[in-house]
Structure 1
Amino acid sequence: MLKSASKLRNACSMMKFATNFYTSKSFLSSRKLGIPINPDPGFPYNPPVGPYDEGISKDPSIQPSFEFEVDPKALLDSVIRQQIYQQKVEEPFYVADLGDVVRKHHQWTTLLPRVKPFYAVKCNSDPFVLKTLASLGTGFDCASTEEIKTILGLGVDPENIIFANPCKAVSNIRYARDHYVNMMTADNADELRKIHEINPHADVVIRIYADDSKAVCRLGKKFGIPIDLVPELVQEAEEIGVNIAGISFHVGSGCTDATAYSDALLLARRAFNDIEAAGYSPTLLDIGGGFPGYEQPGLVKFEEIASLIRPTLDELFPRHVKVIAEPGRYYVASAFSLSVNVTSKKEIKKPNAEKMCMYYVNDGVYGSFNNIMFDHAVLPNPHIYRKETSGENEEKTFECSIWGPTCDSMDCLTSKMQLPELNIGDWLSFENMGAYTFAAASTFNGFAKARLIYVNSELE
């Protein structure tokens, strides 16, 4: 087994598996996910013939056989280097490791075996991510007609979709009804009436308010009925004739405190009691999202959240209650890395002070880094790839700011960061860029969205 990162990089270069492969229709129809082999006949690099050439296919839908373990970080580094130094790209690009998504699913089913994940499509609607998750058997949390249409187009059973937008347009409810998507949420009487009028067979999940004060994005400002008002809403539902299937809550996107889940589960149990007292027999509990996508120092880990949820669920809810969740960033945040090119540089010289630099890169807050504006993200420290391969480990750092490519002065990735001095043509690579990034990116000012390259570090 080849263990070292350097040996792995050499083997990976020999096998030419890094590529942009948006056009591979055969991949979408295949349930077997392999490392994509470069399908571009114009690829400039011709590796020497070696012991790894046998059995390697140029068809990205065919999974090659390897005799070594894949180190995901070494794989990522090799793909980025291949793009920068061999393909000589200039536009920003993502490397998406679908194997990371697979590992996250395995972790979920191991630590929360009772909870079926319904992936939140809004977080990252990349078609290969959705296809991967569908092949793993997850459900999907959709918020609009287009999201439902996309998921149904993958062959997903309508029963594996929850229309989890508590306030929906009439046309959206009608589309869901016509396509047998009957499970949907609501948090007020007007929504219950609207749903029942359009789809009297809907299975409605009442969304209650849960404390989200310790989350990155607080959703309780917009959705969720206070627990004390649940009996009144249930009474109105009974009068209207609405079928209440269960209860849902959301502790906020990017929860930083595991106890938020156990506290919310206690509220959900109380809401279940109110529903049962009215004569209903609820059978569904939706514990929402908020699960972290990667480990951060000082913040809660997924394992800690799971260790609280498991015993609390078993204590409060009998086994006939189906439990689902709506993870988004958990599945995709760490699977995507983004590399951007330094296109311009401006030195700022201050009297009696060390120089400071302003760097301009080819993606910004109107593109992939919109998470800085909308998801309260803080720019992580990047890995530097020099225009020339030497000097990547330079240690002396200087204060700098980093700016996006548009003409808007708000297009600032960070106003203050310590980095080694960069040159025009150098590259910055940022990890954990899969959640709420390109899903909301625009082409403002005529700058194209970053392209995507896919790999799979999970080999059978």
Structure 2
Amino acid sequence: MTTIQTHCTENLRGNYNRKAIQQLIKDKISEGANRRPFYIANLDDIVNKHKRWVELMPRVKPFYAVKCNNTEPVVKTIAALGAGFDCCNISDIEQILKLGVETDRIIYGHPVKDPDDIKSASEFGINLMVFDNEHELVKIKSINPTTNLVLRILPFERGSGDVLDKKYGCLADQCEDLLMKAKKMDLNVVGVSFQIGRSGFDVDSHLDTIIFCRRVFDLAKTIGFNFNFLDIGGGFPGYSTEGNPTFAEGAKKINETLDEYFPAEENAKVIAEPGTYYVQSAFTYVLRVIGKRVSDHVYDYYLNDGVHGAFSKTITYDKKVPDFRLLEDKPLVPFRKSNVWGSTLNPDDRLGQNIQMPELDIGDWLYVPNMGAYTTVLATSFCGTPSSNIIWMASDSTTS
């Protein structure tokens, strides 16, 4: 049975000062102007993440996955740091170009694109696009036959050869046929990409798939291509968790594998598509108890957000109970068997079932750390739920 924490223990949850965040939360609540949920966001955390990436994986240029969190201050900060961008549609591309980002810092990373978006991207000068099937090649050939293309392959899981994602990616035994077709169509394929897309940090799958990419590079050479581009995708953790490799540990192994199979003298450009890594620990979410019911010794609590708001990914994809923290400790309050519900009329809007929590009161505030990834972008207006405000921390109050 899951137990809610009554205070924020010190652990590896991003480079922010928890006391400063707690105090800022209290200050905002004391203003009393808005009792809706809100985020506390720390751009310094993103800056520090970028510096750590450059330090630990200098060969791998980060192309931030815009789909993860496209709030303007986040994207502006990452652009100013010199990172590239992984865009999945024309809206992403337009947002990035408006910031003055050069087109060579953008990859159109969606394997199956709207023809109109291909046309618009080409007119903007985007010259790097991903594909994983023959029909996509035909589509690109008819719209922009001179663009540089990247073959997306399915990644592999160590020991079984099982693919991790069946929606996008070319199977291993299809690579040769697809590259042959691209050659016959006189299209310019320049490299390979893959996307792990799992919760946690699946370092072994990264390593095995990088090794397989070497085989694809060598295969392409026999067909007449000169590959010089490798995209190792995302799947990098936003904070360290027990039982999973740290970013530093994974980066060391990835560096070693790249050096062995893609030595620097080959001059292959290596990128990655981190999203969660950059933003997850930079955002803390704050919400409160708006209702309470007790029946048969089970305590039901109703919060002012749920699965249709900030917790969509946590509940539907990660299938985890949010990491609720009490803003004010209740050390003498007994723990109760509890259910936690969101605010909508959807009976499946449930955030926790049969978890142990200290008894709460209507009006109590909770906060949840590590809420920067796939939260703001997935929130809906179902049942009239308004969007949550974001409060940006002063840069000198959070660096630890």
Deviates more, 1:333-342 or 1:450-459: 450-459
From 68, 74, 84, give the equivalent of 2:29: 84
Alpha carbons 1:340, 1:427 under 8 Å: kept? yes
| Contact 2:157–2:208 (8 Å) recurs in 1 | no
User: Following TM superposition, by how much is the alpha carbon of 1:207 offset from its aligned partner in structure 2, in angstroms?
Assistant: 0.6
Measured after TM superposition, the shift of residue 143 of structure 1 is 0.4
Residue 85 of structure 1: CA displacement?
A: 2.5
Q: Which amino acid aligns with 1:321?
A: A
Q: Given the two structures, how large is their TM-score scaled by the length of structure 1?
A: 0.79
Counterpart-to-counterpart distance in 1, 2:305 and 2:46: 25
1:179–1:332 Cα change, 3 Å: same
Query: Secondary structure in 2 aligned to 1:80?
Result: helix
CA drift of 1:196 comes to: 1.7
Distance of aligned partners of 1:393 and 1:213 in 2 relative to their CA distance in 1, 3 Å threshold: farther
Corresponding position: 1:379 with 2:312: no
Rounded Cα–Cα distance in structure 1 between residues aligned with 2:200 and 2:186: 35
Look up the match of 1:158: 103
Q: Partner of 1:63 in structure 2? A: none
Q: Quote the offset at 1:78 in angstroms.
A: 1.2
- The CA deviation string for residues 166-225 of structure 1, in whole angstroms up to 9 with x for no partner, is 0111001001100001101001111112112111121100011112699xxx86210111
In structure 2, the partner of 1:183 is 128
Distance apart, 1:373 and its partner CA: 4.1
**Cα offset, 1:118, TM superposition:** 0.4
Amino acid at match of 1:325: A
1:448 aligns with 2:386: yes
What SS does the aligned partner of 2:274 have? coil
DSSP-derived class of the 1:442 partner: coil
| Contact 1:383–1:430 (Cα < 8 Å) also in 2 | yes
Q: Which residue of 1 aligns with 2:269?
A: 322
Q: Per-residue displacement from partner, 1:327-354 (whole Å, max 9, x unpaired)?
A: 0101111111101110010012x2xxxx
Change (3 A) 1:213 1:429: farther
* Residue ranges of structure 1 left out of the alignment (5+ in a row): 1-69
Specify whether residues 255 and 237 from structure 1 end up closer, same or farther in structure 2 by C-alpha distance, changes over 3 A only.
farther
Q: CA deviation at 1:375?
A: 2.8
Residues 1:208 and 2:153 aligned together: yes
Larger radius of gyration: 1
For the 8 Å contact 2:156–2:164, the answer to whether it is kept is no
Q: Of the two structures, which has the highest relative contact order with CA contacts closer than 8 Å and spacing of 6 or more?
A: 2
Q: Structure 1 residues 123 and 415 mapped into 2: Cα distance closer, same or farther (>3 Å)?
A: same
| Map of 2:339 onto structure 1 | 401
Cα drift, residue 380 of structure 1: 3.4
For structure 2, the residue ranges without an aligned partner over 5 or more in a row are 1-14
Query: TM-score, length-normalised on structure 2?
Result: 0.91
**Residues paired across the two proteins, number:** 379
Secondary structure of the corresponding residue to residue 440 of structure 1: coil
Aligned mates of 1:459, 1:270 — CA distance in 2: 44
Please state if 1:339 is matched with 2:281: no
- Aligned-partner SS, 2:260: helix
Q: Does 1:357 pair with 2:299?
A: yes
Rounded to whole Å, the distance in 2 between the matches of 1:252 and 1:383 is 28
Q: Distance in 1 between matches of 2:97 and 2:253?
A: 34
- Counterpart-to-counterpart distance in 2, 1:131 and 1:256: 27
Q: Deviations over 1:135-181 (max 9, x none)?
A: 10010000011111111111111110000000111001001100001
Q: Which residue of 1 aligns with 2:363?
A: 425
C-alpha contact 1:212 1:220 (8 A) present in aligned 2: no
- What letter is aligned with 2:336? F
Secondary structure of 2:284's aligned partner: strand
User: CA 1:451–1:213 in 2, change beyond 3 Å: closer, same or farther?
Assistant: farther
Q: How does 1:274-313 map to 2 (within 5 A)?
A: 274-313=219-258
Could you say which residue in structure 1 is the equivalent of 2:348? 410
Runs of 4+ aligned residues of structure 1 deviating over 4 Å after TM superposition are 457-460
2:22 and 2:327 in contact (8 A); partners too: no
In the alignment, the residues of structure 2 paired with residue 200 and residue 373 of structure 1 have an alpha-carbon distance, to the nearest angstrom, of 42
Task: Report matched runs for 1:59-208 at 5 Å.
Answer: 72-87=17-32, 89-208=34-153
User: How many angstroms apart in 2 are the aligned matches of 1:100 and 1:340?
Assistant: 22
Mapped partners of 1:195, 1:103: distance in 2: 38
Q: What SS does the aligned partner of 1:402 have?
A: strand
| 1:302 CA displacement | 1.1
Matches of 1:374 and 1:130, distance apart in 2: 26
Give the match for residue 251 of structure 1: 196
Distance 1:445 1:71, change over 3 A: closer
Counterpart of 1:131, as a letter, is K
> Are residues 258 and 394 of structure 1, via their aligned partners in 2, closer, same or farther at CA, if it must alter by over 3 Å?
farther
**3-state SS in 2 of match to 1:292:** coil
| Aligned 8 A contact 1:212 1:255 in 2 | no
Per-residue CA distance 1:20-58 (angstroms, 9 max, x = gap): xxxxxxxxxxxxxxxxxxxxxxxxxxxxxxxxxxxxxxx
Give the deviation of 1:261 after TM superposition. 1.0
Are 1:242 and 2:187 counterparts?
yes
SS at match of 2:49: helix
- Give, in angstroms, the shift of residue 245 of structure 1: 0.9
Q: Give the partner amino acid of 1:307.
A: K
* CA–CA distance in structure 2, aligned partners of residues 122 and 295 of structure 1: 22
Give the alignment's Cα RMSD to 1 decimal.
1.9
1:254 is paired with a residue whose SS is coil
Deviation at 1:282, TM superposition (A): 0.9
Question: For the Cα contact (< 8 Å) 2:314–2:322, is it kept in 1?
Answer: no
